Structure 1
Amino acid sequence: MNLRVGIDIGSTTVKVVVLGEQNELLFRSYERHFSKTRERAAETLRSIGDMLSGKNVHMVITGSAGLGVSKASGIDFVQEVYATAAAVNTYVPGTDAVIELGGEDAKIIFFGGALEERMNGSCAGGTGAFIDQMASLLNVSIDELDTLSLKHEKIYPIASRCGVFAKSDIQPILNQGGQKEDIAASIFQAVVDQTVAGLTQGRELKGKIVFLGGPLHFLKGLRERFVDTLDLDAEHAVFPEDGDCFAAMGAALCSTDYAARPFDECLKLLEESVDATEALDTMPPLFADKAEYDAFLARHNANHPPEADLATYSGPAWLGIDAGSTTTKMVLIDPQGGILYHYYHSNLGNPVSIVLEQLREIYKRAGGRVSIQGAAVTGYGEDLIKNAFQCDLGLVETMAHYNAAKHFNPNVDFIIDIGGQDMKCFKIRNGAVDSIMLNEACSSGCGSFIETFAKALGYDIAEFSKIGLFSPRPVNLGSRCTVFMNSSVKQAQKDGAGVEDISAGLSISIVKNAVYKVIRAANADDLGKHIVVQGGTFLNDAVLRAFEQELGRDVIRPTIAGLMGAFGAALAARDLGLERSELLSEKALQSFTHTAKPTTCGLCTNHCSLTVNQFDNGRRFISGNRCSRPLGKEKAELPDLGAYKYQKLRAMEGKGAGSGVRGTMGIPFGLNMYENLPFWYEFFTRLNFEVVLSPESSRKLYLKGQHTIPSDTVCYPAKLLHGHVEALVEMGVDAIWYPCMSYNYDEGIGDNHYNCPVVAYYPELLAANVPVLKQTRFLFPYVGLWRHKDFEKRISKLMEEEFSIPKKETVAAARAAFDAYDAYKHDLWATGQSYVAQARAQGLPILVQAGRPYHIDPEINHGINDLITGQGFVLITEDAISHLEGYESRKVLNQWTFQSRMYNAARYVCTQPDMQLVQLVSFGCGTDAITADEVRSILEEGGKLYTQLKIDDINNLGAVKIRIRSLMAAMDARAVTSAKESAQRDPA
């Protein structure tokens, strides 16, 4: 029998195996190819020439990057799913499913009957490349990440929906003192969750599961997280010894279906083949010549702070610290804003130690000549650094950046800040920060995006950025996911693009992402006339030039673009007017100590993941809390209509009018049941059912139903329903009631009164995808509540068919239910008005939380309401005021009840001087693409601020806190401006 050779060319590695007559492994190789796929494969084959030269072999190529090599060389190709299946059937018979993770690919293959494959599509979160990037963020090697994960004490919820943006979940934990061991394990758990939720698509993972691919072969911590999550024993979790090369082994097994060839001929075909190329899609150059570049530099370098020298200066100074997502920036200024000292560096996952080191350096250089009279801190690590070093002020990032921008241009009306993973854009109106835009689900337009490629191509970021300045033909790479952009870059290289062309193309793609994905600008005038750009990414001249070219106008980039947050904080510290700062002295720093320990708060149902930071002299700071209870303070008791509604609905259980003799009726507490529960609870208890609600939503409940979720892109509130219905089945209810409802109540405020398609028809999806529902009576008929008589007729027939209940009894129950719903609605209106009156009596600002009924669920809103009331707002919900405005035609088709309420609430807020509105939207909600623009339009035309809060299954509230605090700062600034204008009009 001829020897069989299998070559698996993946997105990041090449695997080569040789099998003997008994399918034994004679040779195996696993190497990274760094985009040199054909060359790497040929080099490996040359290394085994002694074994195979002069012999006939069966050779087959497989893998996600193997088809092109196969076509170019003429060597046979087999699809990787079939190759993997061949290896699994041969070496691990009886397998039920395969989970395989590669560099950019993740797939699950289900066996049993026809093979079924599920594979990642538009996102490469949860793959080997994602793990590489997370290790880089923690400043550890992959092996060190694995070792750390095995020592974890707790797991934090971290998103792996984006290979870069997961940093926004990790960074606050780091900045608040979280342990790297816990974060490492949480990263692996994120990969597991992404794989299970994103790829199973409703099909249950059970039986014998084989784990393949490099990450699962090499990383013990990742294996542990999969085994624990799927609750597998040693018999059902199989990790083959050569699991990293299984697809190559399968290719070798399949090779007998193809003709044998001399090995030397195969090697020659591979060596002499030419990669297929396509015509490059190129764009105009950034700079035509060096003279144009020099003029560009001269214009921007004119924007600099006054010269200052710490070595010779004596007098007062003010310190600003920007503890950012990936970097720490520090600035010490004199009274004129001259920079005496500055620092900009990666925080290496430990901002406290960085600031400690730099403070010691400042005191050393100041030599007693300089008196620090104020210190302010901003950024993700604001609270931790402020408490650690006793800074005088903490301020929200948007205000810090505005302070800095108006120092260089008092007329600034638009600021864009692009950092390592964050993008912040905000308009300035009437001297105050107005609408704020932050990147949410993707950071392919941020600094780490371009840094990733610089490292991959062997350059440091500064050198890589300069290479593209004079490229005659920048490659058009679009603006895709950071990880998947690798494929575009590799293809461009194959098509003849040089590193300079790719560098320029990436700089342009950053700008396109910022302008069209985050800002969503139609033209330059949408931004403003006086634009200031800042953030470390804009220190890249190629990015700045691309930005100006895209807008068709000049902008201002201060020479300290990367330090603007710290500079703005220093200016704010100066404006405090303190005689001396509370900042830790040089002597106090000598005994400074810091330890951090993770724990879980059990004082309420939120179960916040806390980090207890302990400093010298018994000082401590607790982070991760949504309320003040862990700090030894009682929760703020400001009126909160969202909490009132939630508690009122949960309190219904056990208080019905009926005897319960007809059995237990389970109702899942989610989606539109937050709207309809008062009706259905009254209806079924009147019919003498005992109504049982599913448990309160929680992360644990979500994970209970995760394996039955068929779509990873549906909103989190819908995903939670899978856990709710599974919990009701476990509780042993006699039946579950969850009807399909195409229409909601007709409140006369819209063009129609539909429920959104997910809310309306999710019961049908649950019936088809949750196997345990077959163990109970799951009732999901089509019903409508907006036509009373029609409802009575239909529900009477249904109750008679299902439970033999007489029509007269059902009609009486229905009428009582309509009365109960009306009573609930009027109580809600009255309570909302009482909260408004209380706020006005106490002079407190009122915030309207506009969203859906289910946004009051603490697991869905992650405690946003606590955060809002904690900032001093009285909180009411949109349904408490939407009835105060009548119907008005909108620019869009206004056909959804919940959305109509938001529009009316926004209209009403515009008539109330002490109210502002925030809109809650869920990732995965299609209608919000429309409602967000419409609500923004209503508010801005009415002179109000628009603030949007996006929420999904991860509970990092960093971006939410920035928005709420920015809203407060903008309100304060508007109040000051209004007072000044009033004083000017009436000097007396």
Structure 2
Amino acid sequence: MSLRVGIDIGSTTVKVVVLDEHNKLLFRSYERHYSKTRERACQTLRSISEMLAGQQIRVTITGSAGLGVANAAGIDFVQEVYATAAAVNTYIPDTDAVIELGGEDAKIIFFGGALEERMNGSCAGGTGAFIDQMATLMNVSVQELDALSLKHEKIYPIASRCGVFAKSDIQPILNQGGRKEDVAASIFQAVVDQTVAGLTQGRELKGKIVFLGGPLHFLMGLRERFVDTLKLDADHAIFPKDGDCFAAMGAALCAADYATAPFEDVLKKLEESVETTTAVDTMPPLFNDQEEYDAFCARHNANHPPEVDAKTYTGPAWLGIDAGSTTTKLALITADGGLLYTYYHSNEGNPVAIVLEQLKEIYALCGDRIQIKGAAVTGYGEDLIKNAFSCDLGLVETMAHYKAAAHFRPDVDFIIDIGGQDMKCFKIRNGAVDSIMLNEACSSGCGSFIETFAKALGYTIADFSKLGLFTQKPVNLGSRCTVFMNSSVKQAQKDGASVADISAGLSTSIVKNAIYKVIRAASADDLGEHIVVQGGTFLNDAVLRAFEQELGRNVTRPTIAGLMGAFGAALAARDLHLDHSSLLTADDLAHFTHKARPATCGLCTNHCSLTVNSFDGGRRFVSGNRCSRPLGEEPSRQPDLMRYKYAKLRAMQGNGAGDGSRGTMGIPFGLNMYENLPFWFPLLTHLNFQVVLSPESSRKLYLKGQRTIPSDTVCYPAKLLHGHVEALVEAGVDSIFYPCMPYNFDEGKSDNNYNCPVVAYYPELLAANVPDLKKVRYFDPYFGLHRPRDFAKRAEAWFAEQFQIPKRETAAAVKAAYAAYDDYKNDLRAKAQEFIAQARKEERPILIVAGRPYHMDPEINHGINDLITSYGFVLITEDSVAYLEDKAPRHVLNQWTYHARMYNAARYACTQPDMEVIQLVSFGCGIDAITGDEMRSILEDGGKLYTQLKIDDINNLGAVKIRIRSLMAAIQARKQRN
């Protein structure tokens, strides 16, 4: 048999193997291709020409980027799942499942019977690209990240769905002193969780599992997390010696089915295909010539602070520190905003050390000539830096950015700040931040998006950005996720687009993502007349030009666009008008020490991951807490209807009237049971069932049911139900009652009274996907409570059939259940009025938290209600005031009970001067894409602020704090104006 060659062209690497007739590996290579796929494959084949010259060989190509190369070169192609399966069946024949991680692909293949494969779709979370991104974030190599992870002491919950999510979890841990070793291991755990939860989709991983792909081949820490999580021993966790090249080996095995060809002919075909090009979709150039570019630069460079020579200046100065998510910025200014000193650098995961070093530099520069009269700090690390160095003021970053923007453009009405992985946009109305938009699920519109491609193509970001300024044919890449965009870039390269064309196209993609995905603007007028752009990404002239072209208007970019947070903080420090600053002196800094240790708070069900920071002189700062309990204080006990409702529902467990003679009936405490439990509990106890509620939701409960979740995109409240029903089975209940309910109660405020499809039909999904439910009697009948007479007939028949309960007894129980539900609703409304009266007596602002009933679950809202009341708000919920407004026409189809309540609560807030609204939205809730726009419309038309908080299974509240504090600042500014 002739030699067989397998070529696996993946998203980031090219693997080439040569097998002999006994399937023995004669050659293997694993190389990054930097998007030059065909060139890399040709190079590798040339390097082994001595081995293959003059021979008849069989060649097959596989891999996510292999099909285009195979077609262009006229070489046989085999789909990668079949290639991997061929290698596994040949070399490890008793395999039950394969987990394979590549650069941007993640897949699980189940063996035994029919081959079944699950693969990531629209997101590269949990792949090699994600790990690369996280290593960059922590300023270490991937190998260093791996070494760090092996020394971990604890695991933090971190999202791996996207760089944005992960960074919003990691950065606060680093900024607040968390250990890099713990974060590194947590990153690998996030990859494991993403793979298991996202790809198993209800099928259990068991038996002998083979781990393949580069990340699992090279990273020992990642292997350790998989083995620990899946509880595998050495006989069931297999890491093949050539696991990074397994798909290529499979391709070589499959080549046996294809014809032979002379090695020289194969190499020639590949080399000729490198030059193949087709038509590319292009856009107008960014700049037509140098003259146009020079005029553009002159216009933007005019926006700069006064120039001051720090070596000769004498007098007062003010310091601003922006402890950002990935970078630390400092600005020392004079009274008129002149810059004496600036600093902009990666915080390397240790902002305290960076600020300490910079303060020493600043004191050396100041000497006796310059006196620092005030210091303010903003950004993710605000609390830590403020406590570490005794700064005079901490301010929310939206206010810092607004102050800076207004300095250059007093009439600014829209600010957009694009950083490495963050995007913040805020409208300014009447001199205050009016509404805030942050990217929360995707980083494809941010600076790291371009940086990722620059690195993949072998350029620095600065050089890469300049390449596209004058190209005449920027390629149209659309505006999509990094994974999809990578495919577009590769296709454009295959079609003959130059790196310059791609660079210009990516700049336009960033802008389109920002305008149409984050801001969701219909036109430039939606943004405003006087736009100020900020953030390091806008220092890229290509992005700035693309932004102006897309909007069709000029914007203001200060020359210090990357320093605006620090500059705004310095202006805020100046406006304090202090005689002297409390900032640590040069002498204090000489004795400064900082140590950080991780801890977990066990004082409530949130189990916050704390970082205890210790400074010289016995000073301490605890971060990661959502209330004041870990500080030795009782949390705020402002009136909180969300907490009141939750306690009232949980208290039902011990208050049933039934004698339990008909057995134990389990009810999963989730989704619509937060709405309907006050009905079902009395009904079942009147029928003499002993009702058992599932335990309080927790991360541990979620993980209990994780393997049975068939969809990664369904909302977290739904995912939790799997753990709830598993827990009830473990508790040994006789039956579980969880009815399907397409309709909710009809409150007469909407066009119809549906439950959302997930809430309505999730009981059936659980029946189909949770095997343990076969151990108990599981009831998921269809019921509708909105028509009492019809429901009574249906219930009488159903309980008679299933439990032989006399119809008269069921009728009495139904009557009691409707009365109990009415009592519950009336109690909530009365309690809300009591809280409102108390707030007004104490002159406190009132916040209506509008969401869905299950958003009161502490594991779902992650203690947002505690955070809100800690800022002095009195909290009531939408269902306690919605009845005060009548039905009104809406711009959208208003056919869900929960939505109608939110709309009415928003309308009611518009009539109350001391009320504001925050809307809670579950990430992954498609219906809330509609409610968000409608809520914004109602509130803005009524002169109120719209604030949306998107909540998921990851519990970092950084973005939540920004929004709540910005809301407070806007309320304060409005008070001052009035």
Q: TM-score range by the shorter chain?
A: over 0.9
Match of 2:652, SS state, is coil
CA distances 1:249-278 after superposition (whole Å, capped 9, x unpaired) = 111222221122333333333333346433
The residue type paired with residue 46 of structure 1 is R
The residue that corresponds to 2:610 in the other structure is 610
Tell which deviates more after alignment, 540-549 or 26-35.
Answer: 26-35
The superposition leaves residues 459-511 of structure 1 with CA deviations (integer Å, 9 ceiling, x where unpaired) of 22222222221111111111222244222222222222222212211111111
**Partner amino acid for 1:176?**
Q
CA change 1:895–1:240 in 2 (3 A) is same
In structure 2, the residue matched to 1:747 is 747
Whether 1:826 aligns to 2:832 is no
State the match for 2:336 in structure 1: 336
Deviation string for 1:866-906 (max 9, x for gaps)?
Answer: 11001110101000100111111111111000000000000
Secondary structure of the residue that 1:542 maps to in structure 2?
helix
Determine if the alignment matches structure 1 residue 729 to structure 2 residue 729: yes
C-alpha displacement at 1:441, in angstroms? 0.4
1:214 aligned onto 2:214: yes
Whether the aligned pair in 1 keeps the contact of 2:61 and 2:78 (CA below 8 Å) is: yes
Match of 1:174 in 2: 174
Which runs of 4 or more aligned residues in structure 1 lie more than 4 Å from their structure 2 counterparts after TM superposition? none
Alignment of 1:436-451 (within 5 A): 436-451=436-451
Q: 1:46 to 1:468 in 2, by over 3 A?
A: closer
Measured against aligned partners, the alpha-carbon deviations of 1:177-232 in whole angstroms (never above 9, x if no partner) come to: 11111111111111111111111122221222111111111111111111111222
Q: 1:585: Cα distance to partner? A: 0.4
CA displacement at 1:75 relative to structure 2 = 2.3
Q: CA offsets per residue over residues 412-433 of structure 1, 9 Å max, x none?
A: 1111111111111111111111
State the alpha-carbon separation in 1 of the partners of residues 265 and 411 from structure 2.
71
Q: Is the 8 A contact 2:591 2:616 kept in 1?
A: yes
* Secondary structure class of the residue paired with 1:265: helix
CA contact (8 A) 2:321 2:328 kept: yes
CA contact (8 A) 1:667 1:738 kept: yes
Name 1:928's counterpart in structure 2: 928
160-169 vs 469-478, greater mean Cα deviation = 160-169
Change (3 A) 1:496 1:74: closer
Amino acid at match of 1:413: D
Q: State the TM-score, normalizing by the size of structure 1.
A: 0.98
Q: Which amino acid counterpart does residue 621 of structure 1 have in structure 2?
A: F
Residue aligning to 1:982: none
Does structure 2 retain, via aligned residues, the 8 Å contact 1:126–1:163?
no
**Alignment correspondent of 1:199:** 199
Worse-superposed segment, 2-11 or 820-829: 2-11
- Map of 2:558 onto structure 1: 558
CA contact (8 A) 2:162 2:441 kept: yes
For 1:371-390, list aligned pairs within 5 A: 371-390=371-390
SS of alignment partner, residue 335 of structure 1: coil
Query: Which residue of 2 is the match for residue 878 of structure 1?
Result: 878
1:665 maps to: 665
Match of 2:415, SS state, is strand
**Cα deviations across residues 645-691 of structure 1 (Å, max 9, x unaligned)?**
11111111121001112111110010000001111111111111111
Q: CA deviation at 1:805?
A: 1.1
Within 2, Cα distance between the matches of 1:458 and 1:273? 22
Identity of aligned residues (%): 80
Per-residue CA deviations over 1:824-848 (Å, capped at 9, x if unaligned) read 1111111111111111111100000
The alignment yields a C-alpha RMSD, in angstroms, of 1.3
8 Å CA contact 2:19–2:27 kept in 1: the answer is yes
Give runs of aligned pairs for residues 598-677 of structure 1, distance below 5 A: 598-677=598-677
> Secondary structure of 1:501's match?
helix
Contact 1:642 1:865 in 2 (8 A): yes
**How far apart in 1 are the matches of 2:262 and 2:322?**
64
Contact 1:163 1:483 in 2 (8 A): no
Counterparts in 2 of 1:135 and 1:943: CA distance versus 1, 3 Å: same
| Distance in 2 between residues matched to 1:81 and 1:231, nearest whole Å | 26
Distance 1:610 1:289 in 2: 55
Q: Which amino acid aligns with 2:515?
A: V
Hey, what's the Cα distance between the residues in 2 that align with 1:527 and 1:219? 46
Aligned pairs (5 A) from 1:847-858: 847-858=847-858
Q: Distance in 2 between matches of 1:227 and 1:330?
A: 44
Q: What are the equivalent positions in structure 2 for 1:780-795 lying under 5 Å apart?
A: 780-795=780-795
Please name the residue that 1:503 is paired with: 503
Question: What is the rounded CA distance, in whole Å, between the counterparts of 1:269 and 1:504 in structure 2?
Answer: 31
Are the equivalent residues in 1 in contact too, given 2:38–2:274 (CA < 8 A)? no
**Residues 462 and 53 from structure 1, CA distance in 2 versus in 1: closer, same or farther, beyond 3 angstroms?**
closer
1:450-599 aligned within 5 A: 450-599=450-599
Task: Report if aligned partners of 1:321, 1:376 keep a CA contact under 8 Å in 2.
Answer: yes
- Tell whether the 8 Å contact from 2:674 to 2:854 is kept in structure 1 after alignment: yes
Instruction: Specify the alignment match of 1:895 in structure 2.
Output: 895
Contact 2:39 2:274 in 1 (8 A): no
SS of structure 2 residue aligned to 1:652: helix
SS in 1 for 2:723: helix
Q: 1:986: which partner in 2?
A: none
State the distance in 1 between where 2:568 and 2:13 align: 46
What is the identity, as a one-letter code, of the residue corresponding to 2:105?
A: D
Unaligned regions of 5+ residues in structure 2, if any?
none
Q: Does 1:280 align with 2:283?
A: no
User: What amino acid does structure 2 have at the position aligned with 1:534?
Assistant: Q
Q: Distance in 1 between matches of 2:698 and 2:148?
A: 28
Instruction: Name which of structure 1's ranges 241-250 and 746-755 shifts more when overlaid on structure 2.
Output: 241-250
How far is the alpha carbon of 1:126 from its aligned partner? 0.9
**1:68 match:** 68
Structure 1, unaligned runs of 5 or more: 979-988
Deviations 1:258-308 (A, max 9, x none): 122333333333333346433111111111112211221221122111121
Q: Which residue of 1 aligns with 2:248?
A: 248
CA distance in 1, matches of 2:18, 2:757: 53
Question: Which stretch shifts more, 964-973 or 539-548?
Answer: 539-548
Distance in 2, matches of 1:471 and 1:801, equals: 76
2:419 is matched with: 419
Q: CA deviation at 1:801?
A: 1.3
> Match for 1:963: what amino acid?
R
Which residue is 2:125 aligned to?
125
Evaluate the alpha carbon distance shift between residue 183 and residue 932 of structure 1 in structure 2; reply closer, same or farther with a 3 A threshold.
same
| 2:391/2:582 contact within 8 Å kept | yes
Question: Is the contact made by 1:124 and 1:163 (CA closer than 8 Å) also made in structure 2?
Answer: no
- 2:812 aligns with 812
Deviations 1:598-626 (A, max 9, x none): 11001111100001111111111111000
Whichever residue aligns with residue 116 of structure 2, its letter is E
> For the residues of structure 2 that align with 1:32 and 1:486, how far apart are their CA atoms?
15
2:375 is equivalent to residue 370 of structure 1: no
In structure 2, the CA distance between the partners of 1:720 and 1:276, relative to structure 1 (3 Å rule), is farther
Q: Does 1:139 align with 2:139?
A: yes
Matched-pair contact (CA < 8 Å) for 2:197–2:707? yes
1:691 aligns to what? 691
Q: Secondary structure at the match of 1:557?
A: coil
How far residue 235 of structure 1 moved from its aligned partner, in angstroms, is: 1.9
Which residue pairs with 2:13 in the alignment? 13
CA contact (8 A) 2:331 2:342 kept: yes
* Aligned equivalent of 1:713: 713
Q: SS of the counterpart of 2:51? A: helix
Q: CA deviation at 1:791?
A: 0.9
Residue type at the aligned position of 1:715: C
- 1:294-327 deviation per Cα after TM superposition (whole angstroms, max 9, x unaligned): 2212211221111212111111111000111111
Please, what TM-score do these two structures have when normalized by structure 2? 0.99
Q: Secondary structure at the match of 2:670?
A: coil
1-structure distance, mates of 2:554, 2:58: 62
Asked if the contact 1:3/1:21 (under 8 Å) is kept, the reply is yes
Q: Kindly indicate whether the alpha-carbon contact (under 8 Å) linking 1:19 and 1:249 is maintained by their aligned counterparts in 2.
A: yes
Residue 772 of structure 1: CA displacement?
A: 1.1
Deviation at 1:389, TM superposition (A): 0.5
* Aligned AA (2:446): C
Aligned 8 A contact 2:164 2:440 in 1: no
1:924 counterpart SS class: coil
1:129–1:315 Cα change, 3 Å:
same
Q: Which residue in the other structure is 2:100 paired with?
A: 100
Q: Give SS of 2:525's match.
A: helix
